[in-house]
Amino acid sequence: MADPMTLVIGSKNYSSWSLRPWLILAANALPFTEVMVPLGTEETTSRIQQHSPTGRVPVLKVGDQVIWDSLAIAEFLAERFPEKQIWPQDTKQRALARSICAEMHSGFMPLRERLPMNIRRRYTNFVIGNDVQPSIERIAAIWRECRNRYGRPSGGDFLFGRFGAADAFYAPVVTRFATYGVRLDPVGEEYMQSIQQLPAMQTWRRDAEQEPRIDKYEF
């Protein structure tokens, strides 16, 4: 019998890093136990340190093994559950999917700083700074390329047809664009709808809406 999996995450309304592996697990109906550590409290750091060697979330615990960092967790799950096709099966598509995940993982800092994740909020007439616009345009270009070349031709609603790691990595951006009223081309708008209508994404949103407000994370 395989070791059970436990995913340690932060507050769902604010923790974009936590959403990524949670969505991979939930959307693929993989069995796991969720441990949510509320952010912004006096006990947050000490509670996370009980699970994470880095003092950060997310962390996946499998038996006596600890996997931290959302990209490492995605790779672990892809290896453990190859039948779920978390990465595309085609070599070229898989390389592209890994490339855009790595780009999201390490880039787009102006967007992260100026448009923090806050699923519950909706801003009208929010002014997007000039430093953020290049990130938005680059993300829109990624979505266009992947959906036009691979997603739509395969008949799927996501970047490479079926839902996968790349979609999980860009799902927090979808919530950001919705929060701050970012308008995209039709391909981007359709993709946002696909992510928002995903049952696992709707579950995450419902949970986020029930969490208490944390003033330090409100914009």
* Residue 218 placed within a domain: no
Task: Over range 67-95, report the average pLDDT.
Answer: 97
For residues 116 and 64, membership in a common domain is answered with no
Three-state helix/strand/coil letters over 148-172: HHHHCCCCCCECCECCCHHHHHHHH
Q: Judge whether 115 and 127 are in contact, CB under 8 Å.
A: no
Q: Are residues 181 and 109 in the same domain?
A: yes
CA dist 100 and 182 (Å) reads 20
Span 17-69, pLDDT tens digits: 999 999 999 999 999 999 999 998 889 999 999 999 999 999 999 999 999 99
Radius of gyration of the chain (CA): 17
Tokens of 58: 């997310």
Over residues 176-192, mean pLDDT: 97
Task: Give how many domains the chain has, as a whole number.
Answer: 2
Q: Are residues 159 and 191 in the same domain?
A: yes
Residues 57 and 132 in one domain: no
